[in-house]
Amino acid sequence: MKLSKLALLSLALWLATVAIFGWFFVRGNTASGSDNRTAVVLAPVERDLVLTEMRGLLIATHGILQGINANDMKQVATAARSGGMNAAADVNPVLMAKLPMPFKELGMKVHHNMDDIAIAAESGKQAPEIMGMLTDTMSNCIACHASWQLQAAQ
């Protein structure tokens, strides 16, 4: 009888731990922002990492536009791949837990879309179609930047 009480207590503690982690994973570490956006509160090094990733996406977008302008689909594909899912592959799980789910969803959509743009360029899609794909991708960037700000923890 004693063993089953211990087992039940262990199970209850495990479930509570999983529930709390799940809640933090969905909610993230947020606070009220200074300009009606929600602030994602990160350690300074984590904030710098996210901003570096965003700059990488901006550089990839610029490369896609340059490639389209030069009618160089190889450049479009290379630039798009640089912002694809491989760019998000090594993110620290602790950092991911601090990011709210809608923020993560928007970011992952952008990375997936970059891979889709690369595939489209490699498969011979024309510039107008790729521009449409990039426009849709940029809508995710705009939605994210309109909703969230990154704040360094004090």
- Name the token pair of 77: 């594909």
Domain of residue 69 covers: 2-152
Per-residue pLDDT of the chain (154 residues; tens, 9 = 90+): 566 876 666 666 666 665 555 555 555 688 888 899 999 999 999 999 999 999 999 999 999 999 999 999 999 999 999 999 998 877 788 888 899 999 999 999 999 999 999 999 999 999 999 999 999 999 999 999 999 999 999 8
Find the CATH number of the domain harbouring 55.
Answer: 1.20.120
Rounded CA gap, 126 and 73, in Å? 9
Rounded CA gap, 136 and 110, in Å? 9
Note whether 104 and 96 are within 8 A (CB).
Answer: yes
Q: Which residues, 6 or more positions from 136, have their beta carbon under 8 angstroms from its beta carbon?
A: 113
- Residue 58's alpha-carbon distances to 25, 62, 64, 103, in angstroms, are 26, 6, 10, 17
Number of domains in the chain: 1
